[in-house]
Amino acid sequence: MKDLHIIVCLKSVVLEAPRGRIVRTAENSVMNPFDRPAVEIALALRNEVGGTVTAVSMGPPVAGNALLEATAMGADRAVLLTDAAMAGADTLATAAVLNAAISQLPPFDLLVFGTRTADSDTGQVGPQTAVSLGVPMITQVSHMEPAGTGCRLERQCDGFTETYECAFPAAVSVNPDAVVPREIGLGDLETAFGDKAYDVWGLEQIGLSPEATGESGSPTRVLTISPVKTRKACEFIEGDDAQKRDELINHLSNAGLIG
Amino acid sequence: MNINLTDKHIALRRAVKSFCDREIRPIAADIDKEARFPWEVVEKMGRLGYFGIQTPRELGGAGMDALSYAIIIEEISSASGSIGLCVTVHNSVAVFPLLAFGSPEQRDKWVPPLARGEKIGAFCLTEPNAGSDAGGIDATAIPRDGGYTVNANKVFVTNGGVADICLIFARTDPAAGRKGISVVVAERGTPGFVVGDLEDLCGMRANPVSSIRLYDCQVPAGNILGKPGMGLKIGLAALDTGRMGIAAQAVGIAQAALDEAVQYAKQRRQFGVPIEKHQAIQMMIADMATRVDAARLMVYRAAALRDSGRSFSTESAMAKLFASETATAVTDLAVQIHGGYGYSKAYPVERYYRDARVTRIYEGTSEVHRMVIAKGVLG
Ligand SMILES: Cc1cc2nc3c(=O)[nH]c(=O)nc-3n(C[C@H](O)[C@H](O)[C@H](O)COP(=O)(O)OP(=O)(O)OC[C@H]3O[C@@H](n4cnc5c(N)ncnc54)[C@H](O)[C@@H]3O)c2cc1C
C-alpha cells in the first residue's frame, strides 16, 4: 500500500460545568478525551502502513496545546484553525471550517474523528464534515486494519459486529474503547512544547468568508443551558404476590430493561 | 523570583497524572503491602523517559528542566511514595553526579542506559557508623594494580536491591581525612559486589532499600568520578538537587493525604452532618491546604532558581525541611480526620503517614538541615 495521509480532527474542551462565561486557560482546557483514541488509531495505522498524520483543530489559541499533545503522541504535522470570526460556530459551521482547511492540505486517504466531545456531545461534526467533503463515513469504529487499497473496519451496533471494507479516501469516527491511547513520553512532550510547531490558519488562509462560519454561519442557536434536575421517585407496587410479579415484569419490559 | 508554570508544565502534569492513574495508583497499596518492586511499571517508565528526566537528549534523556522534574516527582509520589523515591534518587543523586562530574567517557558509558531506565542507579554514602556525619565513613578504595580495591559496608541504599550502577563514597587516601574521600562507581556483577538483605521498612516499602557490601572489589582507575578527593564536594552537589526531589516527594504525599481527607470529610457523617461541617475539621483542612501550598511554592522556587542558573542550595534545604515537616503534619491530620478508619489499611492515609515520615530523615535529617540553614543565616 502506498504511504497514507491521515488527518485527525480533534477538539480542545473545557472540563468544567458551563456556569456563566468560561475563560479558556491552559489549565482548564484539555484534548477531548474521546479524541485520544482517534489519534491513537491514526498513529497505529500510520506506523503499520507508513505515511503521515496531520492533526487539525478549530478552536481558540489555547487549543494549540491539544495539538501539541497530539504531536507529542506522534502526529507529524498540526494545524490550528483559529479566528475571531469562527467563535460561536455550531456543528455545521465547524464542519465548514474543517472542510475548507482540509481542502488546503495535501489530499487525504483517511479522515479520523472521535465519536463525540466531552463538552457538547452531539457527534455531528465528523459526519457533517465527511458529507460536505463527499467521502463515505463509518462511525463508531472499534477495529481497523489495512486491506487492499483501503481498510477493513469493524463497528458494534445493537449487539452485532458489522464488518466493512472501505476504499480510501474515507472518514471514520472511533469508538472510545477501540484502542488504549498511548502515554506521552517525557522527551516527546519536551520536544513538542519546545518547538511549538503547528500552523495557525485563519479564515483568510482557508479561503472562507466570515458569513460562512462562526455565529453568522450557524443555523442553530443554543438559547440557554441549565442543569437537568433528576428526581428519584420510589414507586410501590400493590396487590398480592402474583399481581406484584406481573406488574413488576410489565414495568420493567415497558421501560425496555428486559426484553 | 518568578515561578512560571508554562503550558508545557501544565501538559506535563496532566501526562504524568494520566500515567500514574493508569499504571501506579491501582497497584500502590499492593506493592506496599507485598514490599514488591513493580518492574513491569518501572520498565514502562524507563521507555517514557522517567529515568532520564533532566538528562540531555543526546545521552538518552528527556532534557527537561528542574521545574518539570519537581512536578514529575510530586505527581508520582502522590500515587506511590516508593516509586517516587526510586525515580528521584536515580535521577538526582545517581545520574546527576555522573552528568555534572563525569568525564565525557564516563558519561557516555554510564548515563545512556541509566537515562533509558535499562539500568538503575544508587547513591551509597550511609554506613552503620556514618549517617549525618558523612565525613566519618570507613569505606576504602585503595590504589592497586592500576585500579582501586574497594571495601565498603553501605546501608540504607535506596534502590539497592535492583541497582546496577552504584556511586560508592570511599576513602582513596585514608590519611587525608575529609579531603581523601572519593566517589567510586561500582557495577553490580563485579566480583566482590554483594547486595545485602532488604530492609523491612516502616514506609516506602515497595522500594528495595538494602545494604550494599563490597569485599576487595577491584574497579578500574577510570571508575573514580571526577578526581580523587572530590567525594564530599560531589556528595554535597548531589544532595542539593536530591533535596529538591525529596521536597517535591513530600509535597506529593501531602497533597494525596489532603485530597483523601477532603473527600472523606465530605462523605463521613457524624452528629447528623458531614464532618466537613464541624469547625474543628475545617480548621485542620485549612492548615493542611495552606502548608501544602507553601511547601509547593518553596520547591518550585528552588527549582526555578536552579533553572535560571543561580545558587539554590539554601532554598533547596529550606524547601526540604519545610516540605518534609509539612508532609508528616498533614498526613497525621489526614489520619485524624479519618478517625479509626485512618488507622486501618482499608484507606490509603496510613500509607501516606508511614511514607511521609522518612522524608524528615533521608538525604539529611531535619536537624542537619536546621544546622545548615542556621549557618547560612548566622554566618
Ligand atoms: C528509607 C531510607 C532510604 C535511604 N536511602 C539512602 C541512600 O540511598 N543512600 C544513602 O547514602 N543513605 C540513605 N539513607 C540513609 C539516610 O540518609 C540516613 O539515615 C540519614 O542521613 C541519617 O543518618 P543515621 O540514620 O545514621 O542517623 P544519625 O546520623 O545517627 O542521627 C540520629 C539522630 O541524631 C541527630 N543528629 C546527628 N548529628 C547531629 C548533630 N550534629 N546535631 C544535632 N542532631 C544530630 C539526627 O538528626 C537524628 O535525629 C536512607 C535511609 C532510609 C531510612
A68 to B11: CB separation less than 8 angstroms, yes or no = yes
Return the pLDDT at B2. 66
Is B363 an active-site residue? yes
Residues of chain A with Cβ-Cβ distance to B62 below 8 Å are 185-187, 189-190
Do B140 and B107 lie in one domain? The reply is no
Do B224 and B242 lie in one domain? The reply is no
Distance, CA of A72 to CA of B189 (rounded, Å): 38
Return the residue in A184, A186, A195 with the most chain B beta carbons within 10 A, the one to mutate for interface testing. A186
Grade residue A19 by pLDDT with cuts at 50, 70 and 90: low
A187 to B62: CB separation less than 8 angstroms, yes or no = yes
Q: Which domain holds residue B115?
A: 7-120
Q: How many domains does chain B have?
A: 3
**Residue B206 domain flag:** yes
Report helix, strand or coil for B205. Answer: coil
**Residue B48 domain flag:** yes
DSSP E strands in chain B: the ranges are 121-124, 140-144, 147-157, 165-171, 181-187, 193-198, 210-220, 269-270, 273-274
Do B254 and B367 lie in one domain? The reply is yes
Does position A20 have pLDDT exceeding 70, yes or no? no
Does position B24 have pLDDT exceeding 70, yes or no? yes
Q: In angstroms, what is the C-alpha Rg of chain B?
A: 21
Return the pLDDT at A198. 97
Distance, CA of A225 to CA of A89 (rounded, Å): 16
Question: Of B120, B142, B177, which closes a domain?
Answer: B120
Q: pLDDT per residue over A60-103, tens digit each? A: 999 999 999 999 999 999 999 999 999 999 999 999 999 999 99
Grade residue A186 by pLDDT with cuts at 50, 70 and 90: very high
Return the pLDDT at B326. 98
CA of B111 to the centre of ligand 1 (A): 28
A194 to B19: CB separation less than 8 angstroms, yes or no = no
Q: pLDDT per residue over B287-318, tens digit each? A: 999 999 999 999 999 999 999 999 999 999 99
Report helix, strand or coil for A55. Answer: strand
Q: Is B44 on the interface with A (CB under 8 A)?
A: yes
The residue whose CA has the least distance to atom 26 of ligand 1 is B131
B23, B75, B325, B363: the catalytic one is: B363
Return the pLDDT at A179. 96
The mean pLDDT of A39-44, rounded to a whole number, is: 98
Contact A65, B9 (CB under 8 A): no
Q: Choose which residue among B93, B165, B362 to substitute to test ligand 1 binding: the one with the highest number of ligand atoms within 8 A of its C-beta.
A: B362
Q: Which residue of B has its CA nearest to A189?
A: B12
Q: Is B38 on the interface with A (CB under 8 A)?
A: no
The mean pLDDT of A131-159, rounded to a whole number, is: 93
Return the pLDDT at B376. 86
Do B288 and B351 lie in one domain? The reply is yes
Report helix, strand or coil for A2. Answer: coil
Domain of B11, CATH number, reads 1.10.540.10
What CATH number is given for A4-212 in this structure? Answer: 3.40.50.620
The residue whose CA has the least distance to atom 32 of ligand 1 is B132
Do B354 and B315 lie in one domain? The reply is yes
A190 to B47: CB separation less than 8 angstroms, yes or no = no
Return the pLDDT at A225. 79
- Note the ipTM here: 0.93
Query: Hey, which residues does A78 pair with through a beta bridge?
Result: A55
Per-residue CA distances from B51 to B91, B94, B278 (Å): 6, 10, 44
Grade residue B21 by pLDDT with cuts at 50, 70 and 90: very high
Give me A128's grid cell.
457533517
A14-18, B208-212, B241-245, B271-275: the lowest-pLDDT one: A14-18
CA of B177 to the centre of ligand 1 (A): 21
CA of B307 to the centre of ligand 1 (A): 29
Domain of B277, CATH number, reads 1.20.140.10
Grade residue A257 by pLDDT with cuts at 50, 70 and 90: confident
Question: Of B191, B211, B228, which closes a domain?
Answer: B228
**Residue B300 domain flag:** yes
Nearest to A190 among B18, B23, B64 (CB): B64
Does position A121 have pLDDT exceeding 90, yes or no? no
Does position A1 have pLDDT exceeding 90, yes or no? no
**Residue B1 domain flag:** no
**Residue B2 domain flag:** no
B15 to A187: CB separation less than 8 angstroms, yes or no = no
Q: pLDDT per residue over B138-183, tens digit each? A: 999 999 999 999 999 999 999 999 999 999 999 999 999 999 999 9
Q: Is B47 on the interface with A (CB under 8 A)?
A: yes
Return the pLDDT at B97. 98
The mean pLDDT of A168-196, rounded to a whole number, is: 96
Return the pLDDT at A18. 60
Contact B248, B77 (CB under 8 A): yes
Q: pLDDT per residue over B244-269, tens digit each? A: 999 999 999 999 999 999 999 999 99
Element (H, E) at B238: helix B231-267
The mean pLDDT of B221-235, rounded to a whole number, is: 97
CA of B132 to the centre of ligand 1 (A): 5
B7 to A193: CB separation less than 8 angstroms, yes or no = yes
Q: Which residue of A has its CA nearest to B21?
A: A183
Return the pLDDT at B379. 85
Residue A53 CB-half CA count within 13 A: 26
The mean pLDDT of A222-232, rounded to a whole number, is: 83
pTM confidence score: 0.93
Do B252 and B373 lie in one domain? The reply is yes
